[in-house]
Amino acid sequence: MDAASSSTSQCRYSYEEYKETADWLLAQTEQRPKVAIICGSGLGGLADLLEDKTGFPYEKIPNFPTSTVEGHAGQLVFGRLQGRECVCMQGRFHFYEGYNIHKVTYPVRVFYLLGVETVIVTNAAGGLNGSYDVGNIMLIKDHINMPGFAGQNPLCGHNDDRFGKRFPCMSDAYDRELMALAKQTAEEQGCGKFLQEGVYCMLAGPSYETIAECRLLKVLGADAVGMSTVPEVVVARHCGLRVLGLSLITNKVVTDYDSIEKANHEEVLRTTKSRSQDLQRLVGHLITKI
């Protein structure tokens, strides 16, 4: 085994470790969720909508990573949303925190072992599409996995058939039926006027993109750019879970060298605070239709 393969193997988790985490959670709560929600920066308020909820700080959960980013509370919350049992991640994990890709995606396989069937992923993203406004919500119809181009795919290494097949299809990564339900729900909730549909591109971060990089991403067909989501989606689809992705456009990326605008995390959190209630209402009502 070469050094690269050895390093990849050492970073991976065994089926038994995932199962230990899932079994511990199942023993701590009577909730048996079919839907998991992964909350992006500033969007952890989705978990506050849950009723009959029980929260578990990440550091208390066996084998679980911990979140270190402002705007990510760092706890797993079980409860009912509009009468449906759900589990909600208040804060996710990122490459830029120093985690390897297997740690970033660890919770998704735990969800699968809990009996989850649908994953809703949310994130804060920069708008590349010139027609998008700050505060728009973008339904993710497809993604560009830039870390994957560099070999950072969570499925690299030995494949465990208990989770999924060796070569999963990604042309249907985002469930079209769920997208149609989301559009319908948005119209019903008065959110249709700021709902968009587009392609999400993931970069590793934590630095924001240069002007040249933003111009390149637009040429590649990306409508929004962020630093998360794609690895979780890849693992979810490997496990056969249905996926719905939602990006909150928190800022417009800079593509003009004469511009004095600068991307910053504080702006991201301010925008999510002002629009998060609309996103929460959309997800809350959507849950009842899944």
First to last CA, the chain: 45
Q: Which one of the listed residues 13, 63, 96, 263 is annotated catalytic?
A: 96
Q: Which one of the listed residues 47, 58, 89, 94 is annotated catalytic?
A: 94
Is 129 among the catalytic positions?
Answer: no
- Residues 181, 290 contacting (CB under 8 angstroms): yes
The DSSP-derived string for 182-243 is HHHHHHHTT-GGGEEEEEEEE---SSPPPHHHHHHHHHHT-SEEESSSHHHHHHHHHTT-EE
Q: Which one of the listed residues 36, 89, 227, 236 is annotated catalytic?
A: 227
Q: Which one of the listed residues 22, 36, 41, 208 is annotated catalytic?
A: 41
Give alpha helix (H) positions in the chain.
3-11, 15-28, 101-104, 106-114, 146-149, 176-188, 211-220, 230-238, 265-287
Q: Which residues contact 261 (CB under 8 A, 6 or more apart)?
A: 252, 254
Is 138 among the catalytic positions?
Answer: no
C-alpha–C-alpha distance, residues 109 and 116, integer Å: 9
Q: What is the DSSP letter of 94?
A: -
Is 247 among the catalytic positions?
Answer: no
- Residues 152, 146 contacting (CB under 8 angstroms): no
> How long is the chain?
290
Is 20 among the catalytic positions?
Answer: no
Q: Which one of the listed residues 17, 20, 97, 197 is annotated catalytic?
A: 97
Is 251 among the catalytic positions?
Answer: yes
Q: Which one of the listed residues 100, 129, 136, 228 is annotated catalytic?
A: 228
Is 200 among the catalytic positions?
Answer: no
Q: Give which of 290, 289, 200 is closest to 253, Cα–Cα.
A: 200
- Residues 222, 128 contacting (CB under 8 angstroms): yes
3-state helix, strand, coil in the chain (%, to 5): 40, 25, 40
C-alpha–C-alpha distance, residues 226 and 138, integer Å: 12
For 195, the token pair is 């709902």
Is 96 among the catalytic positions?
Answer: yes
Is 97 among the catalytic positions?
Answer: yes
As annotated, the active-site residues are 41, 72, 94, 96-97, 124, 227-228, 251, 265
